[in-house]
Amino acid sequence: MMQRPCSMRFSKLAVGGLITILLVSLAVFVAPGYCKSAAATEKAVLADDAFLDGVQRQTFQYFVECSNPANGLVMDKALNLPAGSEPVDFSYSAATIAGVGFALSVYPVGVERGWMTREKAIELTRTTLHFFAEKMEHKHGFFYHFVDMHTDARAMNCEISSIDT
């Protein structure tokens, strides 16, 4: 009996998944034994924690700095500029509906980590929710995937987003 291409694809995915699990298991359970000392392991963990803290902080900052405070819309993307560069004019950037959901998710994290006051998080959340409930352009409750950051008008002739809404 001939196998369907879909079944072969699944088999390849299953084998790839098993190999990935094996490699991750080796990295987690075997690699730590190769460290020279417990102190080296502790330093690596501290370096990892500092790195993750930095990534979390920068991610949080993106959603604060690249959001329109008047409506909560979040830019779809931004340039990664070196420190000290001139600020980019984001006024012509399209916003993404998915980004708004992420922004609403990072505000409580920012409060918990001490990066934002609870009052500021409440203010931003209320502004965003009010804007979407009362002013955001939509079709039968579905929002466009990309919209203008300032006018909320559909951008780039994009589709209605059933996933992000």
User: What is the model's pLDDT at position 79?
Assistant: 64
Tell me how far CA of residue 115 lies from CA of 78, 90, 106, 119, 125, in angstroms: 21, 23, 10, 12, 16
Residue with the bigger pLDDT between 7 and 127: it is 127
Model confidence at 113: pLDDT above 90: yes
Q: What is the DSSP string of 3-69?
A: PPHHHHHHHHHHHHHHHHHHHHHHHHHTGGGGSS-HHHHHHHHHHHHHHHHHHHHHHHHHHHHTB-T
Model confidence at 66: pLDDT above 60: yes
Domain boundaries of the chain, sorted by first residue: 40-77+92-165
What is the per-residue pLDDT across 38-65, written as a single tens digit (0 to 9) for each?
A: 555 556 666 788 888 888 998 898 888 8
Model confidence at 122: pLDDT above 90: yes
Residue with the bigger pLDDT between 85 and 122: it is 122
CB 94 within 8 A of CB 68: no
Task: Say which range, 21-35, 38-52, 91-105, has the weakest mean pLDDT.
Answer: 21-35
Model confidence at 3: pLDDT above 70: no
pLDDT band at 121 (very low <50, low <70, confident <90, very high): very high
- The sign one gets for the Cα dihedral 69, 74, 79, 80 is positive
pTM, rounded to two decimals = 0.63
Residue with the bigger pLDDT between 11 and 152: it is 152
